Structure 1
Amino acid sequence: MNERYECGVCWTVYDPAEGDEVGQIPAGTPFASLPDEWRCPRCDAGRERFLRLSEPPPAGEAVDVETRLDALLASYRRTRDTSIRGLPIDNPHLDVEAVGFHRDGDAWLGVLITSWFMNVVRFPAMLGAWEERDEGEVVERTFPSGTYDFTLSRVAGFGLLETCSLISPMGAFDDPAVVRAVAEAALEEIEREPEPPPQATTRLSRRQLFGRRGHGGERAREP
C-alpha cells in the first residue's frame, strides 16, 4: 500500500516511498506497518493523529467543488471532535458548514462556519495551482467593497486555502440559522459595489439663471 498520510497537528506527510529517516523507517514501509510507538518526526504526535491523503487528480485539472467542500468540512469536523470539543472556545450549538461558495476568478470563495470561528475562505479552482506558494503568506485580495488580508494555510486532509477572519470565538450565537444569515450577509457585503457619491446640485434663482453672461460677454436679458 502506497497511501500517504498527513499529520493532523503539523501537516507533515508520511510517504511510504520515502519512509522516515528520523524514526529509522526504511523506504517502502506502508503506514499500516509502522510500529505502534512510531511518532511524527516533526511534532512528535502519535500515529492516531495522522489522516489518509486521497490521491489528487493531476495538477491543472479543475476541482469538483462539492467534493472539495466535503473534504474541507470533514477535516474541520475531525479537528473539532479531536481537539476543540469541550474547550471554552467551542460552541456546541453550531456545526461545521460551508455557505455561499462560488467562483471568484481562479478560486472558489465562500464562508466557512465552525463551532469556534467564522472565516471567509478561498481555495484554488485548479489542482496544484498554489503549491509554489509559502504557507503563512498574507496576500491582499480586492473586492468591490475594499481590500482584505487573506492568509494561506494548509489544512490536513484538504490542502491549501486562504482565510480572512470574520468572527472568533462564536459564543455569541446559539441559533445555526442566525449564523448562516450572518455569513450570507458578510459575503454579500464584501462583494457589494459601493454606492456612488451623491452629486452636488445647485439650485439657481431666476435672476442667477438669466443674469449669467452669454458667450459674447454680454449679460443675458431678463424676459
Structure 2
Amino acid sequence: MSSGFRQPAVRDELPPVTGIIGEDPAPRLTTMYRRIWFETMHEMPFVNAALSVEALGFHRWQPDDSTTTGPAATPPDARSTPAAQTPAGDWIGAVITPWFINLFVLPGGGTLWSDRPRGERCLLEFPIGPLEFIADHDPAAEIPKFQYCPLFAPPSEFPSQTAARAAALAALAAMFAPPPGVRRSAAASLSKKSESSRRAFFRRIAQG
C-alpha cells in the first residue's frame, strides 16, 4: 500500500476473517442504521430530518467481469437484484441516512474485498478508476465488517429522500458506466487520494 495514505494514529488489529455474505445485504444494513439512528444519532444537530435510512442499489460485482454492470438503469425505487440471479462477486451499493450518504463494499466472495483493520484506507479499482474506501468493523453489528466511501456528510443539501436516492444511484452508475471522455480524467484525479477531489467529482455526477 502506498505510504501516501492517511492512516489513523492508533490502528486496530486485523479483524477475524470475514464470512461471505450470500444474500442481499440491504435489509441488514437498513436495520443496522435504523438502530443507530434511534439509539445515538436522532438528536444530533447536523442531521437532515428530511432523510431516512435506506440501503439501495446493492449488487455483486467482480473487477474482471466485463458483463456485470452497475445500477445505472435501476429506477430509484427498485429493489436490489437477488443474489441467486447475479454473478458471484463482492457487494457494491449505497446507504442513505440522515447524517451521511456513502458508497459501500461488503464481502461477497469476490476478489475486490480484503480484510483490513478499522480505519485503514485503500484504493479499490472500478471502471471509473480507483476510489478510496475506509474499513470499519463492529463484531456486534448486523453487518460486522464493511468498507465505505464517503459521498455527502452531512447530506444537508438534499430536500427529500427522493433527491438523496437519485444522487446515490447516480454516483453508483458513474462508478460502472462513466460517460465518454470522463473516465481518464476522473481516474487521474481520484488516484491522487484527495478527499476533496473525490467528493467534488461525485457531487457533480450526483447533482447533474
Matched position secondary structure for 1:95: coil
Does structure 1 conserve the Cα–Cα contact (< 8 Å) formed by 2:18 and 2:115? no
Which is greater in Rg?
1
Normalized against structure 2, the TM-score is what? 0.59
Corresponding position: 1:63 with 2:48? no
Change (3 A) 1:117 1:60: closer
Q: Aligned to 1:114, which of 88, 94, 97?
A: 97
- 1:132, CA displacement in angstroms? 4.9
- Which amino acid counterpart does residue 83 of structure 1 have in structure 2? T
What is the RMSD of the two structures over their aligned residues, measured on CA atoms?
A: 2.6
Hey, what's the Cα distance between the residues in 1 that align with 2:114 and 2:178? 32
Change (3 A) 1:60 1:87: closer
- Which amino acid counterpart does residue 39 of structure 2 have in structure 1? T
Deviations 1:171-192 (CA, angstroms, capped at 9, x unpaired) = 2112111111111111111212
Does structure 2 conserve the Cα–Cα contact (< 8 Å) formed by 1:60 and 1:126? no
Q: Aligned to 1:167, which of 131, 152, 156?
A: 152
- Which amino acid counterpart does residue 140 of structure 1 have in structure 2? L
- Which amino acid counterpart does residue 124 of structure 1 have in structure 2? P
Partner of 1:188: 173
Does structure 2 conserve the Cα–Cα contact (< 8 Å) formed by 1:144 and 1:194? no
Q: Aligned to 1:154, which of 127, 137, 143?
A: 137
- 1:168, CA displacement in angstroms? 0.8
Matched position secondary structure for 1:108: strand
Normalized against structure 1, the TM-score is what? 0.55
Deviations 1:32-80 (CA, angstroms, capped at 9, x unpaired) = xxxxxxxxxxxxxxxxxxxxxxxxxxx89753333x3222111111111
- Which amino acid counterpart does residue 156 of structure 2 have in structure 1? G
Q: Which runs of 5+ in 1 are unaligned?
A: 1-58, 198-223
| Higher RCO, 1 vs 2 (CA within 8 Å, ≥6 residues apart) | 2
Q: How many residues align?
A: 137
Does structure 1 conserve the Cα–Cα contact (< 8 Å) formed by 2:58 and 2:91? yes
Of all paired residues, the percent bearing the same amino acid is: 31
Hey, what's the Cα distance between the residues in 2 that align with 1:81 and 1:65? 26
- 1:131, CA displacement in angstroms? 8.0
Q: Which runs of 5+ in 2 are unaligned?
A: 1-16, 63-88, 183-208
Corresponding position: 1:177 with 2:135? no
Q: Aligned to 2:52, which of 95, 119, 128?
A: 95
Hey, what's the Cα distance between the residues in 1 that align with 2:52 and 2:181? 39
